[in-house]
Amino acid sequence: MSQLEETQESLSRMQAFDPKSLAREEDLGKNFDFSAVVAPAGRLIRLYNQLGLSTLDDFPDQILAQIKQQADADFNRFQQILDFDPTTIENQNPKQPRDNLVQQVSKAYDPAFQKLFPFISYGTSKAVDFQRMENEARAMLQNVKDEASEITTQLNEHQEQAQEVLADVRKVAAEQGVSQQAIYFKDEAESHEKLAEVWRSRTIKVAWGLGVYALFSIFFHKIPWIQPEDTIQSVQLITSKVLIFFVISYILFLSSKNFLSHKHSAIVNKHRQNALMTYTAITDSAATEEVKDVVLNHAASCIFSPQDTGFIKSESQSSQSSRSIVELLPKTTMKLDS
């Protein structure tokens, strides 16, 4: 085995040694354990770890022999502690040899440092090659600059295309946003349509009931226990028949008005849904911003204007639409004049 290999083996043995194994508290007890040498031994092992194994390739055999001798001497102190057995010591207090070993390990750091410091400094200077690091940093920086310049050139080349794509995306997003709002009016129209069918059925049933009552009321005076016996009873029978007839007629009137009201609301909300769905197409075909303002005003008026209930007639919507056009005419004239 060459001197280099022997030195590497001795150095590796010191670097891999576990200082906690020197305590031996369970074997020797508190009186004879070596827990006091764990910290100095760990410090000494850290010193050996600062000397890299790859650095030994550069040293001559004479220096390798010095490093090996120092490593073997320190390891021998550790081995003596591991082999220490107070029962084998005769005619002597075992505490004194134990204290001598503790003192040797505690004082081993200074001579080892003086011996290994020049070699550790050499290894550190070799590992930290500042010139090489500077060259690598400069090369990396230049590489980053080249890549950044290439990316900037590509972005400039595709900038126009990116702007067109962005415009298309914004247009699609706007159309989707407007179209998604129409779903609320669609749901409302379907809800009113269902209620209209319910009230249609009720109106038909009440109408049939009124017809049946009108038919059978002709024969009420022939029923024995209802048949009037004098003028006063005749007046009472006629009055009750008329009152019942008007109550059923009024119920029929309310049912039909509810049917017409829900039908009217379903149509209005369907119209608002169609207005939102076609708004984007109409504004895209507008030639000027003034025309777009008119379309926007009419669409907003159609969507947000108060809705007729269907119970009474109202002309507010048409008058409001007329006013909106009149309000926009001065604005349009001013823009055209400018």
- pLDDT tens for residues 129-153? 555 666 777 788 888 888 888 888 7
**Best CA proximity match to 237, nearest among 221, 219, 254:** 221
Query: How far is Cα 4 from Cα 10, in angstroms, rounded to an integer?
Result: 10
How many Cα atoms occupy the beta-carbon half-sphere of 75 within 13 Å?
A: 18
Confidence of residue 322 (pLDDT cuts 50, 70, 90): very low
User: Are 303 and 326 a contacting pair, CB within 8 Å?
Assistant: no
Q: Is the pLDDT of residue 314 over 80?
A: no
Give the pLDDT of residue 175.
53
Give the pLDDT of residue 318.
45
- Work out the average pLDDT over 267-295: 73
Confidence of residue 334 (pLDDT cuts 50, 70, 90): very low
Query: How far is Cα 171 from Cα 168, in angstroms, rounded to an integer?
Result: 5
Give the pLDDT of residue 323.
47
68-121: pLDDT as tens digits: 898 899 899 888 888 888 777 665 677 788 888 888 888 888 988 888 888 888
Give the pLDDT of residue 287.
61
3-class SS of residue 56: helix
Give the pLDDT of residue 285.
67
Q: What is the mean pLDDT of the chain?
A: 77
Give the pLDDT of residue 307.
64
pTM tops 0.75, yes or no:
no
**Best CA proximity match to 10, nearest among 73, 101, 82:** 73
Give the pLDDT of residue 242.
86
- Work out the average pLDDT over 212-239: 76
